[in-house]
Amino acid sequence: MHVRIELVYKTPKRTETNFVSDLMPAAQAILLAEDLEKTGRAKSITFTDETNRSWRLKELRQYMKGIETEPHNIKVYFDGGFDHDTKRSGLGCAVYYDQNGKSFRLRKNALIVELHSNNEAEYAALHFALKELALLGVHHLPVIIIGDSQVVINQLNGEWPCLEEELSNWADRIEDKLKEMGIQPEYTLVSRKSNREADRLATQALQEIEITSNSEIT
């Protein structure tokens, strides 16, 4: 979760001005706000998150304490591959998250046969990743979603139209799943090289190599 600090600052001679910070991790914002409070010159401190929700310092502290035991700071890498000869699709996802003061990585892939194109496989891979987030218990959090498919990322961002019925149906399923889980997605388009972990998982699925792992990152 990222927030902006909104501050009314008062000098000893009672001159006041307003400051608004850049977006920063909520934990960092809390530390800065606590330090500002110690000066005695912060007349009021509030926070605004990515959804424009406003928070008081006490509320933000309670929220951050509450999510510490749940998965948070989540990044999802996804990729899909399609074999035109066999009509099989490989889906892969890598999920990075924090929980109970530790960092974890979930890696999962799947082989399916009901799709018709590489773009469909890319959409299916993202939907597959969201189902894994649901199994982790992720809900009502911002999630960074990373992939190398220009079609999927740009269509879900609203930058490209989604004219093919099959892809439109997948986009609807993904948006419904995000709404159901209360996830605020932040889509990031990367090169295939930067998405090689999810790409390898999708390739391994096509090779009938099943991967399922969830381990702590040390």
Q: Where in the chain is the domain with CATH 3.30.420.10?
A: 72-217
Tell the CATH superfamily of the 72-217 domain.
Ribonuclease H-like superfamily/Ribonuclease H (3.30.420.10)
pTM for this predicted structure:
0.79
**Average pLDDT value for residue range 148-174:** 96
Query: pLDDT for 133-155, tens place per residue?
Result: 999 999 888 899 999 999 999 99
Q: Find the radius of gyration of the CA atoms of the chain.
A: 21
Q: Indicate whether 203 pLDDT > 80.
A: yes
Element (H, E) at 123: helix 118-136
- Three-state secondary structure call for residue 36: helix
Helices and strands (DSSP H and E) totals, the chain = 6, 11
The per-residue pLDDT for 68 is 79
pLDDT of 62-112, one tens digit each? 888 877 788 999 999 999 999 999 999 999 999 999 998 899 999 999 999
